[in-house]
Amino acid sequence: MTVWVALLRAVNLGARNKVPMARLRAALATAGLPGARTLLQSGNVIVESERDVGPIIHAVLRDTFAVDQPVMIRSRDRLAEIIAANPFPAAAVERPTLLRVTFLAEHPTPERARLLETHDDVRLLEREVYIDYRDRVHGNPVNTAMASRRLGLPGTERNWTTVLKLAELAAQW
């Protein structure tokens, strides 16, 4: 069995796209993914399955919660690789909430990927964009929305502390 980490996009943003995690776990169990665990209210799901969980989770979100957003899926092993590949190790130690990873839905084209090369605080590796926000997230022109627009792909962002906690929970399986 494979342990999967699902990163939901645009859930529980104020009054929009409400997805209570307890109801999500129950709906996933009904859909054939029993034992799902969640972390925080921002849409982090860990589940074990041999099935392709992305379409299942997307269908549950759409059909049960009326949230039709992409779901970024990474295996436990891939999450460990993402952590090991961190191009900003000092930021991970000094300011883990200001180091963010944007998980993309797909691989960007090489032409689009080159659009991020001008930013010292941004690194694209595979389907992940690492952003070192340095001193602030809000109001920073270098951000996930900018990266997603330039890459032409949806993504969802998690801070380094959350990424590490997801890896820790996935390792307990």
Q: What is the mean pLDDT of residues 43-48?
A: 95
**Which whole number is the average pLDDT over 24-41?**
94
> pLDDT for 92-101, tens place per residue?
999 999 999 9
At what angle are helices 53-65 and 21-30 packed, to 10 degrees?
A: 120
Rounded percentage of the chain residues whose pLDDT exceeds 90 = 80
Mean pLDDT of the chain: 94
Core vs surface per residue 94-132: b (16+ CB within 10 A) or e:
ebeebbbbbbbbeebeeeeeebbeebeebbbeebbbbbb
With bands split at pLDDT 50, 70 and 90, how would you rate the model's confidence at 40? confident
Apex 106 CA angle, 135 and 25, nearest 5: 80
Mean pLDDT calculated for residue range 95-119:
94
- pLDDT (0 to 100) of residue 123: 96
Q: What is the pLDDT of residues 2-17, one digit of tens each?
A: 999 999 988 876 677 8
What six digits make up the tokens of 93? 């130690």
Q: Is the distance from CB of 135 to CB of 98 less than 8 angstroms? A: yes
CATH fold group of domain 2-75: Alpha-Beta Plaits (3.30.70)
Q: Which of 41, 50, 148 is nearest to 105 (CA)?
A: 148
Cβ neighbors of 122 (< 8 A, separation 6 or more) are 116, 129, 130, 131, 132, 142, 147
Paired tokens of 117? 């090369």
- For residue 94, which amino acid is it? E
Burial class (CB in 10 A: 0-12, 13-18, 19+), 140: middle
The full set of domain ranges for the chain reads 2-75, 78-171
pTM reported for the whole predicted model: 0.94
Of the ranges 52-61, 82-91, 130-139, which one carries the lowest mean pLDDT score? 130-139
Q: Is the pLDDT of residue 164 over 80?
A: yes
Q: Looking at 11-15, 44-48, 84-88, which range is the least confident one? A: 11-15
